[in-house]
Chains A and B, each alone.
Chain A
Amino acid sequence: MKKSGNTKNLIIFEIIIAFIFLIYLYPFLLILINSAKDSFAVTQSPLKAPENWSRIFVNIAKIWKDQNINYPSSFKSSVIITSISLISLNVFSSQAAWVLVRTKSKLSSAIFLMFVAAMVIPFQIVMVPLLSWFRNIDSVLGIKLLRTYGGIIFAYLGFGMSLTIFMFHGFIKAIPVSLEEAATIDGCSKPQIFYLIITPLLSPIHATVLILNGIWIWNDYLLPLMILGKGNKIQTFPLAVANFAGAYVKQWDLIMTAILMAIIPIIIFFLILQRYIIKGMTAGSIK
């Protein structure tokens, strides 16, 4: 008797949550249907399904060729910036965290403490000085950091390393030293120990860090706006969309298509890897 009551409640609960779930994702449907309308239909009946779905290809073709958004090139830049930043963040932060954990000295803990303290520094305080400082580096040393891939990737290493090192540090602390001692006796050098023995053990935290930093860097707006600037050949998707929405004010059919095309790569990427991503996020989030 009680059991059937529970099942009934569960079904009602399931329906409520499913309903909330659909409302929650409704804005995505709104993007999709309005990407398949012309500028008149989009303002006249934004909620209705499009009369002719093939219109979506017309809009996509427009966005693909648009000079403001420069889709193929923005896609390439976003991929280059995100992937190289992620690789350097993971490699450099994990090796730094390892030596900081395994070296017991005042200097080592002071360096770690400094990194942790830096996490509280907001971007706004370094934003303008960073620009003039990078300009000075260019005029004195001739190293171009503004409007280049090198500059923005270097900046992401700087802004991302504190939290990344902190996360690796917490994870490495839990790995027993005895493993490394055994390897040392077997004649392994320190870099060998790190890359051959420790790195494979770090894969769960590598995954967590990749996901967190990946979502941040792919979507970041202010840092690319500062370092790459507007109207640069190198622009990321958020810059491109802002650029486009600024140039085509209120042309919602095209803005929606631009948004659709900008978010589709990351959503596909996520859906393919969602099993691992969700596992990685929950694994790393509690120390």
Chain B
Amino acid sequence: MKKKHDLIFWLFLTPVLLAFLFVIVIPFAIGIFYSFTNWSASARMNNELQMVGLKNFVESFKDPTFSYSFQITIIYTVLNVAAINTIALLLALAVTSKLKFRNIYRVGFFIPNLIGGLILGYIWQFLFNNALPDLGETVPFLSGLADPDNLILSKIHTALGALVTVSTWQYAGYIMMIYIAAIEGIPQELQEAAKIDGANFLERFRAVTVPMIAQAFTVTLFLTLVNSFKQFDVNVSLTSGGPSTIFGGIPIFGTELLALNIYNTAFIANNLAEAQARAVVFFLVLVIISIIQVRINKKKEVEL
């Protein structure tokens, strides 16, 4: 009988265990510990690190920028998940049909995904701030776009819509790929049988396609939900959190999503411990979302 954990077992695991320990586990533990201390203050004044209990958490929730970011992130996430999945599914249905150039469309719709959110944000900033007003000047019935008051990035509602547009443009092609794989995995006989029974496209979509790709929904909803909630890059380069607004009696950034709020708390306000507390809250919300989401979807899969 050979030993279960032989030398090879440990040898093969050592590199990843080391990286896991040094990059994830230790900083994660330090991070949680720091959220209960006066970390940044002590570093600045060269004092001992002191435990301050839940002070950082209480302060975070008292700060209007944090509660505002929380709300706006939830709104953004809901809109984004809906937009990405709807468009990705429609694109997937289109490119799995009998279209002549379907393979070219697949490649094209995927291309924005190759480019990082940061660079995409700059591209679309130019599009919203320069190209669209110019379009308004040339096309008569779009003249509203030329008015500086109507700049898309200058109002919170439209700026949030812009964030959703850009991340949908970036991510829909990737989610489309997952739907394509699922749709192509449906046995052809099922669709044929439904056709013979006289089902039209919508009926077939509802009764055959959707139940057959239920497992893909678990993956896509999870990916889009978590990635929307963690959005940072597009936020930085497209709006940098602007335009500003008044919330809770003080001026704040109108499109500052949670990840950017944590970053700004740490590096602009230089309040490391409080940023850490916010990150812990952020983490807990992600854990809850993940658990609920996977549970609901697993249930749905069985029912369908």
Contact = CB atoms under 8 A, between A and B. Distances in A.
B130 A161 contact: no
B45 to A, nearest CB: 16
Interface stretch (A55-63, A64-72, A119-127): A119-127
Contacts of A73: none
Interface in A189-214: 190-191, 194
Contacts of B182: 286
Interface stretch (B74-82, B119-127, B295-303): B119-127
Contacts, number: 240
Given A133-B27, A165-B16, A285-B177, A103 B122 contact: no
A108 B12 CA distance: 12
Interface stretch (B64-72, B243-251, B275-283): B275-283
Given A21-B108, A96-B13, A133-B26, A30 B184 contact: no
Interface in A213-245: 215, 218-222, 237-238, 241-242, 245
16 contacts: A14-B100, A17-B95, A18-B105, A24-B112, A30-B126, A46-B131, A47-B138, A96-B16, A114-B20, A124-B263, A125-B279, A129-B27, A133-B27, A161-B20, A220-B116, A278-B107
A241 B122 CA distance: 9
Interface residues of A, number: 88
Given A120-B286, A124-B263, A252 B130 contact: yes
A24 B173 CA distance: 10
B181 A282 contact: yes
Interface in B199-256: 215-216, 219, 226, 230, 232-233, 236-237
Contact of B127 (A27, A123, A161, A266): A27
A222 B232 contact: yes
Interface string B20-38: 1011111110111010000
Contact of A222 (B32, B122, B233): B233
B98 interface: yes
B267 to A, nearest CB: 9
Interface in A81-139: 88, 92-93, 95-96, 98-100, 103-105, 107-108, 111, 114-115, 118, 120-130, 132-133, 137
A99 B98 CA distance: 44
Interface of A: 10, 13-14, 17-18, 21, 24-25, 27-28, 30-31, 34, 42-43, 45-47, 88, 92-93, 95-96, 98-100, 103-105, 107-108, 111, 114-115, 118, 120-130, 132-133, 137, 154-155, 157-159, 161-162, 165, 190-191, 194, 215, 218-222, 237-238, 241-242, 245, 252, 255-256, 259, 262-263, 266-267, 270-271, 274, 278, 281-283, 285-286
A245 B109 CA distance: 27
Contact of B126 (A111, A123, A190, A252): A252
Contact of A125 (B31, B99, B124): B31
Contacts of B275: 128
Nearest to A256: B126
B124 to A, nearest CB: 7
Given A99-B12, A128-B272, A130-B27, 18 more contacts: A14-B100, A24-B109, A27-B112, A46-B126, A105-B5, A118-B20, A122-B283, A124-B282, A129-B276, A133-B26, A154-B23, A155-B23, A161-B20, A219-B116, A219-B117, A221-B236, A242-B236, A282-B180
Nearest to A184: B2
B135 interface: yes
Given A13-B97, A96-B16, A103-B9, A126 B28 contact: yes
Nearest to B29: A129
Question: Do most interface residues of chain B lie in helix, strand or loop, or is the interface mixed?
Answer: helix
B249 to A, nearest CB: 27
A158 B15 CA distance: 9
Shortest 4 CB-CB contacts between residues of A and residues of B: A158-B23, A219-B116, A282-B181, A129-B30
Contacts of A165: 16
Contacts of B30: 129, 132-133
A267 B113 CA distance: 10
A285 B181 contact: yes
A122 B8 contact: no
A285 B43 CA distance: 46
B279 A124 contact: yes
Contacts of B101: 14, 18
A282 B122 contact: no
A157 B9 contact: no
B116 A221 contact: yes
Best-buried of A17, A103, A159 by chain B (most CB within 10 Å):
A17
B16 A92 contact: yes
B86 to A, nearest CB: 14
B193 interface: no
Contacts of A159: 23-24
A21 B107 CA distance: 10
Nearest to A270: B114
B287 interface: yes
B16 A241 contact: no
Given A118-B20, A157-B23, A222-B233, A266 B115 contact: yes
